[in-house]
Amino acid sequence: MSGLDNPALNELEDCALIDMPAGRLAFSTDSYVVDPIFFPGGNIGDLAVHGTINDLAMRGARPMALSLGLILEEGLPLADLQKIIDSIALASKKAGVPIVTGDTKVVPHGKGDKIFINTSGVGIVPAGVDLGARQVRAGDTIILSGTMADHGITIMVARNKLAFEGDIRSDTQALHNLTLALSERANGALHAMRDPTRGGVATTLCEIAEMAEVSMILDEAAIPIRPQVQSACELLGLEPLYLANEGKCLVVVAEDFVDDALRIMRQRPEGRDAAIIGRVEDGLAGRVEITTLAGGRRLVTALTGEPLPRIC
């Protein structure tokens, strides 16, 4: 496929071979069925590259290689396919993570929906790095790397061809350089990272709180959100806490690392708007509460099912 050249892919054998440094292997997969396939800020192609890179990054892995599986519906305009492949190639190049193996299948018109993409990824977790919800404990601080709900509201607006004032665009971007910068300097004080995709910040934090058997208290006023996204959510009656993000991460750190973590994140463009949004407390396992703008407190529950299907 044009634009994707690299030595491992160019061998054209049944699988790719990759020289790997020592460490544990991180392995992740995601299928992308986003509708529409083109949206402000990106398309299904770069979304698929960033999404799988981010899944590896959240466990402290250095992403090493991606696979690319395409399922094309007959009738997809070749120009659209080329545009998507170009975005994949550019995203892969910018991230420094090559696509080393791939596969393409074609299904008849009416048996698919333009294009579905699977990307899987491998990465290496350096010795000593052990991140995950189970490391989270009372007293930890919760940081969000930037504004919430950008991707979810963008898809909602694009799908329904709504018109809003202001620039509404997906935040799709790779986060591994930010997460690696954090984990390299954390000395065990970085406990968990998660990208709040489907189900948004609220659902992701509920999941962490449940697995870690802790409570959390969030501060609504502290959660970064673009004014135009906030307005669109209000007009559409959507709760931004539940909308998907594709270029943000939640970072849970020990108190003594909070200042360093914020500084490291804000030094990078993808973490420029990083902010403390809450803290971890002893309490009922899985209970997440939020102090609202009005000064009250309410319970935040996990979303079951999909609020907005085909968001990624």
Which residues of this protein are in contact with its own copies, per CB under 8 A?
A: 11-20, 22, 24-33, 54-56, 58-59, 61, 64-65, 67-71, 100-103, 105-108, 110-113, 116, 118, 120-123, 125, 132-133, 194-195, 211, 306, 309-310
H or E element, residue 67? strand 62-73
Q: How far is the CB of 219 from its own copies (least distance, A)?
A: 25
Using the minimum distance from each CB to its own copies, give the nearer residue, 9 or 168: 9
Q: How far is the CB of 214 from its own copies (least distance, A)?
A: 16
| Buried/exposed code over 77-103 (b: 16+ C-beta within 10 A; e: otherwise) | eeeebeebbbbbbebbeebebbbbbbe
Backbone angles phi, psi at 42, to 5 degrees: 170, -165
Q: How far is the CB of 119 from its own copies (least distance, A)?
A: 9
Q: Are strands 250-253 and 190-194 parallel, antiparallel or unpaired?
A: antiparallel
Q: How far is the CB of 258 from its own copies (least distance, A)?
A: 23
Which is nearest to 276 in space by CA: 192, 218, 209, 213?
A: 218
Using the minimum distance from each CB to its own copies, give the nearer residue, 114 or 279: 114
Using the minimum distance from each CB to its own copies, give the nearer residue, 71 or 288: 71
Using the minimum distance from each CB to its own copies, give the nearer residue, 145 or 168: 145
Q: Are strands 215-219 and 288-291 parallel, antiparallel or unpaired?
A: parallel
CB 244 within 8 Å of CB 311:
yes
Q: Position of tokens 């997440």?
A: 288
Q: How far is the CB of 290 from its own copies (least distance, A)?
A: 24
CB 129 within 8 Å of CB 192:
no
Using the minimum distance from each CB to its own copies, give the nearer residue, 24 or 185: 24
CB 285 within 8 Å of CB 207:
no
Using the minimum distance from each CB to its own copies, give the nearer residue, 107 or 236: 107
Q: How far is the CB of 301 from its own copies (least distance, A)?
A: 18
Q: How far is the CB of 186 from its own copies (least distance, A)?
A: 17
Using the minimum distance from each CB to its own copies, give the nearer residue, 226 or 248: 248
Query: Rounded to an integer, what distance in angstroms lies between the CA atom of residue 248 and that of residue 200?
Result: 10
Backbone angles phi, psi at 237, to 5 degrees: 70, 35
